[in-house]
Amino acid sequence: MGFIRGGLLILAIVLISISLLAGNIFWTMSSSLEYNKVESELVSISENIFNEQLNIDGYIEQLRPQIESFCQMQNSEYTFNYGDQTITLSCDTVLNEPENIAEESVKNLIQTYYYKEYNCNFWNCFSDEVPLFLISQKAHDYWKSKFIFTLTASAILTGVIFLLVKKKTNFPIIIGAVVILSAIPISKISNLASSSIKSLVNLEDYLVRIILIFFSDSQKIFLTMLVIGILILVIGIILKIIKTSFRIMNVFSKFKRKDKGTNKPARQETIKTTPKQTKNTKTK
């Protein structure tokens, strides 16, 4: 029975390690694909994505006289169609910050592509075009659902480990160690993905940078999981120390009881002596 229990415990620990590692990856990807993070990352590489692939700067330059003329007529926004996308520019930017027109138009496109409705399953959305659905809300929701699934699986496995561990004080130590070990690969995942992509696939530099957006939050997730693991581990160590302290106190108390038993004074038996009666002999 003990052998079976030990084998099941090892299996549960292996499974929760895999589940936590996968969960950390899914959490990293869903967190990295939040809109504000995607926008800040994409704007920095917008020249490559939108100019080389979509040539938006050239198109705006052609429209600039028309845009400026429209905005000078006390209008607040200028809207135009670019391909199948609608872009809105603030007239305040057009008249006062013309150098930011391209950036604002890029942000418009990023927002449009991010929230676009893709009528396909996630793995069926790949095409020969720039796969912008990979950094869309659809992708964010997909990886988030995978993270929730692995989180649920990890919670179930945690309960199984608690039932299988014979000494319950070992439970937080085991879980804390597993959490810490599962977090370590996340700290290196961005560098590993970059080197793997460059060595296995011949992609343009800006496409590599787009793929690395998936892991932009990797250090944040690593530190979060590391802190959680350390806290659980410390709790386990404290419980171990408390339990050991109680054992030591019990041993000392047993010794004290024994010492009291051996140092008791021996029971003295009182012997009653009757005084000898002296017979008064009458002298004749």
Mean pLDDT of 239-264: 73
Mean pLDDT of 14-43: 91
3 state SS of 219: helix
* Residue-by-residue DSSP string for 25-73: HHHHHHHHTSHHHHHHHHHHTHIIIIIITT-HHHHHHHHHHHHHHHHTT
Min mean pLDDT across 33-42, 48-57, 174-183 is at 48-57
Of residues 204 and 71, more confidently modeled = 71
- Inform me whether the pLDDT recorded for 7 exceeds 80: yes
- Inform me whether the pLDDT recorded for 157 exceeds 90: yes
pLDDT at position 275 is 53
Average confidence score pLDDT of the chain: 80
Percent of the chain surpassing pLDDT 90:
32
Give the phi and the psi of residue 147 in degrees, each rounded to 5.
Answer: -65, -45
Of residues 257 and 281, more confidently modeled = 257
- Inform me whether the pLDDT recorded for 6 exceeds 70: yes
pLDDT at position 283 is 45
How does residue 250 score in pLDDT terms, banded at 50, 70 and 90?
A: confident
- Inform me whether the pLDDT recorded for 51 exceeds 70: no
- Inform me whether the pLDDT recorded for 179 exceeds 90: yes
Percent of the chain surpassing pLDDT 70:
76
pTM: predicted TM-score of the whole model, two decimal places: 0.76
Min mean pLDDT across 30-34, 155-159, 206-210, 261-265 is at 261-265
Of residues 42 and 201, more confidently modeled = 42
Of residues 268 and 32, more confidently modeled = 32
pLDDT at position 148 is 96
Residue reference for tokens 């670019």: 82
pLDDT at position 183 is 93
pLDDT at position 101 is 75
First and final C-alpha spacing in the chain: 102
Cβ burial 139-176 (10 Å sphere, 16+ → b, else e): bbebbbebbeebeebbeebbebbeebbeeebebbbbbb
pLDDT at position 14 is 96
- Is residue 232 within 8 Å of residue 182, measured between CB atoms? no
- The amino acid occupying position 15 is L
pLDDT at position 257 is 67
pLDDT at position 278 is 46
- Inform me whether the pLDDT recorded for 194 exceeds 90: no
Q: pLDDT tens for residues 82-138?
A: 766 777 888 887 777 766 777 777 788 788 888 888 887 777 776 644 467 888 898
- Residue 20 CB neighbours (<10 A): 26
